[in-house]
Amino acid sequence: MSLKTIRSLFILPLFLVVIFAKGQTHFVDKTVVDSLSFAQVRSVINVLPTDLFEKHIYKQGDKELPYRLLLPKNYKKGEKYPLVITLHNSSRIGNDNEKQLEHLAKIWTRPEIYSTYNALVVVPQFNERSSLYDKDANGILVSKASDDVQLVLDLLSELEHDYRIDRAKVYLVGYSMGASTAQNLMNMAPNKFTGIVSIAAVPDFSNLTAWKVKRILLVHGEKDTDNPYQGSEELFAKLKGRKNVTFKTYTNLNHATITIPFLLNDEIPNWLFKKR
């Protein structure tokens, strides 16, 4: 079966509603992902090679943070590049420096993306939960960073020293726990990051004033029973009036299927690097 055929399978059918509210954009998407297309789309990503991602370990005192690093195609040492930090979900916790290469990380090695979007892609691996969840006073599940998340900021400083990184183009991308961690990092060090792609996160409301000029893409499925859709809905409401905020609601997708619409196209890298 061709890649083009697989791409068309999960659009069954798609109805898109765009809502503009107080400067923000809210897309409501009715894409359906059936079990066959789910398996076939993931199989395309599963066979992508991982050897393009260099293996490294960042060490600080008695702590270690394994990470993989993808250099741009035809990398030139003297050139300046954007940096994308991709953060894994809780099923990829460990220290083997392998499991963190989940689907949203591996898309960067798809030939059409790797040859078009020149960026450094960093994929750290946590050996315990990077984001911790609890309910706030309003009964909404919220997240906070674990202690080891600081290692990502320390690693970023080292990478800025070792590579010519365009500091105006440093992005966070995450799914599930990784998306929650991305929000935690944005709140911890907003001056370090330009924008965020947050897919199915448990939100972090702790420092939203710092998000004022950030580019934000929130994605969530209404049928998500793991990380409730309500959290992203509330975050979007708290960010009202900020024109750089986009919220994509998938009415028919759940926690397992929410990444499928992003795996066989260039929507995420295009959104990150599109000139505005």
Residue range 48-242+267-273 forms a domain whose CATH class is alpha beta
Res. 3: pLDDT tops 60: no
pLDDT attached to residue 186: 98
Residue 2 has pLDDT above 60, yes or no: no
What does the domain layout of the chain look like in residue ranges?
Answer: 48-242+267-273
The average pLDDT across 8-25 equals 60
Looking at residue 276, its pLDDT comes to: 57
Side-chain-side CA neighbours of residue 73 (13 Å): 11
Is the pLDDT at 5 greater than 50? The verdict is no
pLDDT of residue 36: 95
Q: Report the pLDDT value the prediction gives residue 1, as an integer from 0 to 100.
A: 45
pLDDT class for 241, splitting at 50, 70, 90?
confident
- Grade residue 219 by pLDDT with cuts at 50, 70 and 90: very high
User: What confidence score (pLDDT) does residue 251 get?
Assistant: 97
Rounded average pLDDT over 43-49? 95
> Could you give the angle at the alpha carbon of 59 between the alpha carbons of 57 and 64, nearest 5°?
70
- What average pLDDT does this structure show over 35-50? 95
Please determine, for residue 93, whether its predicted confidence score (pLDDT) is greater than 90.
yes
Q: Over 90: is that where the pLDDT of 6 sits?
A: no
142 touches 203 (CB < 8 A): yes
**pLDDT tens sequence across 148-195:** 999 999 999 999 999 999 999 999 999 999 999 999 999 999 999 999
CB 247 within 8 A of CB 27: yes
Q: What is the pLDDT of residue 250?
A: 97
The pLDDT assigned to 79 comes to 94
Q: Where residue 94 falls among pLDDT bands split at 50, 70, 90?
A: very high
User: Is residue 80's pLDDT more than 60?
Assistant: yes
